[in-house]
Amino acid sequence: MNNDQVKGRVEESKGKVKEVVGKVMNDQDMENEGNLQKNVGKVQSGFGDIKEDIKKS
């Protein structure tokens, strides 16, 4: 695993937590922020996956 994969998955997890907390607390802004953070983490993780695939080739 490379740095982008790890950081992306951490951001994805933090975003998911924020999203759930926002839903529970009925805080739409926090829920949206968590959703955005989760998606940014997915993109970063995917970028890390691509880098890893290229490195293995």
DSSP states along 8-48: HHHHHHHHHHHHHHHHHTT-HHHHHHHHHHHHHHHHHHHHH
pTM of the predicted model over 0.75 = yes
Confidence of residue 57 (pLDDT cuts 50, 70, 90): confident
Digit-coded pLDDT (tens) for 17-56: 999 999 999 999 999 999 999 999 999 999 999 999 999 9
Residue 1 has pLDDT above 90, yes or no: no
Give me the pLDDT at residue 49, please.
Answer: 95
CA–CA separation, 56 and 13 (whole Å): 26
- Half-sphere exposure for 8 (CA within 13 Å, toward CB): 18
Give me the pLDDT at residue 36, please.
Answer: 98
CA–CA separation, 35 and 14 (whole Å): 10
Give me the pLDDT at residue 44, please.
Answer: 97
